[in-house]
Amino acid sequence: MTTAVAAIDFELLGRIFPRVLVDGILLGFVYSLIALGYTMVYGVLEFINFAHSEIFMVGAFIGAEVLLILQAARVLAASPPLLSLLASVLAAGVIAGLLAVTIERVAYRPLRGAPRLVPLISAIGVSFFLQDLVRMIWALHRNAFYLTYPPIEVFNQRFPAGAYALWGGAAAVAIAAIGWLMRRAGRGVARARFESLSMLPKYTSIALGIVSVGLLILDPNRVLTVPVKSLVVIGASLLVLSVLVYVVNQTKLGMAIRAVAEDQATASLMGVNVNQIISVTFLIGGLMGGIAGALFGLQFGTVNPYSGFIPGLKAFTAAVLGGIGNIPGAMLGGLVLGVLEALAGSYLSLISGGAFGAEYKDIFAFSVLILILIFRPRGLLGEVVREKL
């Protein structure tokens, strides 16, 4: 009985768990960002934008290009790293967003009303076109088939997260207190906008509290260090996701997007220009896809014209897992998939004594997905009608 179990080093499994979790959450947020593009477009058009993975890839190229230009101009090392990152991520997002809008206008809108398969074929065509276009542009421009993200020194250091666990806990309590005071002060104001603003400290403190408590439990010796880069990618993803949740749930634009997703004809009776809202949806989806591309590139180093395919496919799966068309579902689906993949990647070979290597991680992750979908065919949140977080 002991022989089989003895092969597994439980102490090792436990020790690497926090790192695996961080990797999984990081990957999960990137999937979430991409998945939102699929799910929001599906929400308004009931159409899978298969070119979205290439929009992500273009974002990754733009992100690298911006950093390479900064490096060539000798400002990359001299300027604050977060500023360079901001430039890279913003450029990637904006260009990917505009690209997505253009694609919808040129390749999808003229086909509206055609049988459902037709725009799908068009999307696949756009995918190939973008792959070859990017390959051609960068072949001419840099004579390169792929781009490597230039290193940003600070990002390659490690942050002693374990040592700061107690501080994190204290900060969570402090932020919660600020939130409580804000809500008290705003009681008379009672404006919806203010209400949503006071949610910010609430959720920040909850998230920080969970992380701190988790660290204290998983890393009792307070020795865990996390790459600064991972924290930056996670932080940036969280920020973008929060802005999206705010826009979708608390603004007039977001309300119009949700109304169009539900019933285009009736939304137009309210005065909503449906085509405009569809364009905006592609813009937002492309924006997030592009940002995800730049963050993905920053994390993993190199991108080539075909880098979009696998993450795109996984993000699409994440969207289906969460319930296609459902915004919180896409976020949850991305996180679940990312964490599953990281767990499988690190633990499969350890637990199976090397019989299954890390290369089996996708098989494992997708098997779990298939299982979940067998029991919940509409996805994890597919039946939840209320789209509020």
Partner 1 sequence: MTILRVEGADVYYGNIHALKDVSLLVERGEIVTLIGSNGAGKTTTLRAISGLAHPRRGTIALEGKDITRTPAHRIATLGIAHVPEGRRVFGRLTVRENLEMGAYTRHDRDWIAADLDEVFAVFPRLKERIRQTAGTLSGGEQQMLAMGRALMARPQLLLLDEPSMGLAPLLVEQIFRSVTDINRAGTTVLLVEQNAYMALQVATRGYVLQTGSVVLSGPAESLLANEEVRKAYLGE
Q: Which is nearer to partner 1, 140 or 192 (CB)?
A: 192
Phi, psi of 50 (to 5 degrees): -65, -15
Nearer to partner 1, 237 or 281 (CB): 281
| Residue 247 CB, nearest approach to partner 1 (Å) | 14
DSSP string, 82-95: HHHHHHHHHHHHHH
DSSP string, 267-285: HHHTT--HHHHHHHHHHHH
Output 140 or 385, the one with its CB closest to partner 1. 385
| Closest CB 30 distance from partner 1, rounded Å | 27
- Kindly state the smallest distance separating residue 292's Cβ from partner 1, in Å: 26
User: What's the closest the beta carbon of residue 252 comes to partner 1, in angstroms?
Assistant: 7
- DSSP 8-state code for residue 107: I
* Calpha distance 353→376 (Å, rounded): 32
The tally of CA atoms less than 13 A away on the side-chain side of residue 284 is: 26
Q: Closer CB to partner 1, residue 187 or residue 386?
A: 386
Output 123 or 277, the one with its CB closest to partner 1.
277
Q: Residue holding tokens 């253009």? A: 102
- Provide, rounded to whole angstroms, the least separation between the CB of residue 271 and partner 1: 4
Nearer to partner 1, 257 or 339 (CB): 257
Characterise 225 by phi-psi region: left (phi > 0), alpha (psi -120 to 50), beta (else).
Answer: beta
Cβ proximity to partner 1: between 242 and 268 the closer is: 268
Instruction: Output the smallest distance, CB 272 to partner 1, in A.
Output: 6
Cβ proximity to partner 1: between 153 and 383 the closer is 383
Query: Around Cβ 290, how many Cβ atoms within 10 Å?
Result: 34
> Tokens representing 352?
């199976």
- C-alpha to C-alpha distance for 253 and 348, rounded to whole angstroms: 45
Please state the separation of Cα 281 from the chain's center in Å: 16
Backbone angles phi, psi at 115, to 5 degrees: -55, 150
Minimal distance, residue 9 CB to partner 1, in Å: 49
The CA distance from 333 to 276, in Å, is 28
Cα distance between residue 126 and residue 103, in whole Å: 8
Q: Are the beta carbons of 225 and 157 closer than 8 angstroms?
A: no
For residues 211 and 7, is the Cβ–Cβ distance under 8 A? no
Residue 248: CB minimum distance to partner 1, A: 12
Alpha-carbon span 179 to 184, nearest angstrom: 9
Instruction: State the nearest-atom distance from the C-beta of 267 to partner 1, in Å.
Output: 7
Binding site for partner 1 (CB under 8 A): 252, 255-256, 258-259, 262-263, 265-274, 385-387
Shortest Cβ 320–partner 1 spacing (Å)? 19
**Hunting for tokens 């977001």 — which residue is that?**
254
Among residues 266 and 352, whose Cβ is nearest to partner 1?
266
Give the burial class of 72: count Cβ atoms within 10 A of its Cβ; 0-12 exposed, 13-18 middle, 19 or more buried: exposed
- Judged by CB, which is closer to partner 1: 107, or 255? 255
